[in-house]
Amino acid sequence: MNNNNTPNTPSGEKKHGGLVAAFAGILFVVCALLFTSGMVIPASDDTAEVLAYYDNVSELSQSLNSDTVSFVYALPVTYNLPWNEEPTPVPDPECFTDTTYEDDSISVKYWTERHYDSDVHFAEVKIKSPTQIRTMLSGGSYNSSERFVPNQLAQQINAVVAVNGDFYGYRAKGYIIRQNVTYRTHTIGWDLLLIDDKGDFHIVNDFALERSNILNDYHIVNTLHFGPSLIVDGKIKILSKKSGCGEKWNYIDSPRTAIGQLGELHYLLCVVEGRSDTSRGMVMDELAKVMYEHDCLQAYNLDGGQSSTLVFNGKPMNKPLWGGRRVMSDIVFFATAVPNEQ
């Protein structure tokens, strides 16, 4: 028999409580939006303090992410890594497949193709924060005497994917900025890749660096000094054929390593096998065409030969020249920004 005087059941209480929580969440978001965007900051001697307070409120609203209010206002989670040489967060093993990695902050796709009678290894990378494209100095410090093969360096720093760098330690000169620290400012007539704090690439011959005004217009956090350039502003352009190993070696079929930018926080890594029975390798013009055909807006050649290595999930993916890999002074890598659970 139905009884209209029957008190609320526990499930009814739960439903009622959920509605109250949802209403509270909506009220909180509305109040926060009104408070942070609808009020006028008074002009006074304390303006700087008031602005700082409003920044804190904004940070709070951006970091809040609860089930109660997520259906009302999408609150993105933003991860940023510090500019230092410390190991980055450990990638989640469950996010790897043989050819992909994906978590909330980074996605990587690895594959191979055949170009110019050579096996070519690619990794396309998308990141959420510009702090996720990084460099590592072997030994964790500038001019360290320690050297490791690229996959060892990638494992030490917890890289999701990496390639060899410019082997800065092989030369006494060069324009070297790594992880927001300037170490050397020598110009040597080579093409220079500059990476700013937005993750964007800029390529210029170092003799033109001063008049280019790049260092004043952008906050540069990493440079790679090898080259030559391959793609500049969407066009095939080798600024100086003498860059890197010099014109002779740049036009001998060899293993190659290149890095390119496809768009905002979107990159392409490329490693070419060479000087073997199955892969002849490439010259610079061929490498530039490959990067152009893969839609790079900017592309740059790194150290090659026995250095050329693409590392994914801690493992080298390409066959090494002469059966061995050269120990290196640095790598370029991409990291997850999802913090590990404490």
Query: Do residues 122 and 293 lie in contact, with contact meaning Cβ atoms separated by under 8 Å?
Result: no
Average pLDDT, the chain: 85
Tell me what pLDDT residue 336 has. Answer: 98
Q: According to the model, what pLDDT value does residue 324 have?
A: 86
How far is it, in rounded angstroms, from Cα 279 to Cα 84? 38
Is residue 1's pLDDT more than 50? no
In the three-class reduction of DSSP (H, G, I as helix; E, B as strand; rest coil), residue 72 is classed as coil
How many percent of the chain have pLDDT more than 90? 75
Q: CA-CA distance, 111 to 97, in Å (whole number)?
A: 12
Q: Which residue has the tokens 């740049």?
A: 250
Residue-wise pLDDT tens digits, 179-198: 999 999 999 999 999 999 99
Res 4: pLDDT: 45
The answer to whether 239 and 229 are in contact (CB under 8 A) is: yes
pLDDT at 17 over 90: no
CA distance 118 to 278: 7
Cα(292)–Cα(289) distance, rounded to whole angstroms? Answer: 5
- Label the pairing between strands 106-115 and 100-102: antiparallel
Give residue-wise pLDDT tens across range 213-267: 999 999 999 999 999 999 999 999 999 999 999 999 999 999 999 999 999 999 9
The pLDDT value recorded for residue 30 is 46
Looking up tokens 């801690």, which residue turns up? 314
Banded model confidence at residue 79, pLDDT cuts 50, 70, 90? confident
Average pLDDT, stretch 312-326? 94
CB-neighbour burial class of residue 38 (10 A; exposed 0-12, middle 13-18, buried 19+): exposed
pLDDT tens digits, 106-123: 999 999 999 999 999 999
pLDDT, position 75: 53
Q: Which pTM does this prediction carry?
A: 0.79
Contact predicate 258/122, CB 8 Å: no
Instruction: Read off the tokens for 46.
Output: 């304390």
Of the pLDDT bands very low, low, confident and very high (cuts 50, 70, 90), residue 322 is confident
**Half-sphere exposure at residue 31, Cβ-oriented, CA atoms within 13 angstroms:** 7
Of the candidates 244, 212, 214, the one whose C-alpha atom is nearest the C-alpha of residue 229 is 244
Give the distance, in angstroms, between the CA of residue 46 and the centroid of all CA atoms in the same chain.
39
The answer to whether the CB of 251 falls within 8 A of the CB of 298 is: no
Confidence of residue 74 (pLDDT cuts 50, 70, 90): low
CA atoms within 13 A on the CB side of 129: 18
Among the residues of 127-273, which ranges form H helices?
150-157, 209-212, 214-217, 247-250
160/108 Cα distance (integer angstroms): 8
pLDDT of residue 146: 94
Provide the pLDDT for residue 180: 98
Which tokens hold the place of 302? 């790194």
Distance CA 243, CA 90 (A): 35
Q: Give the integer Cα–Cα distance in Å for 285 and 231.
A: 10
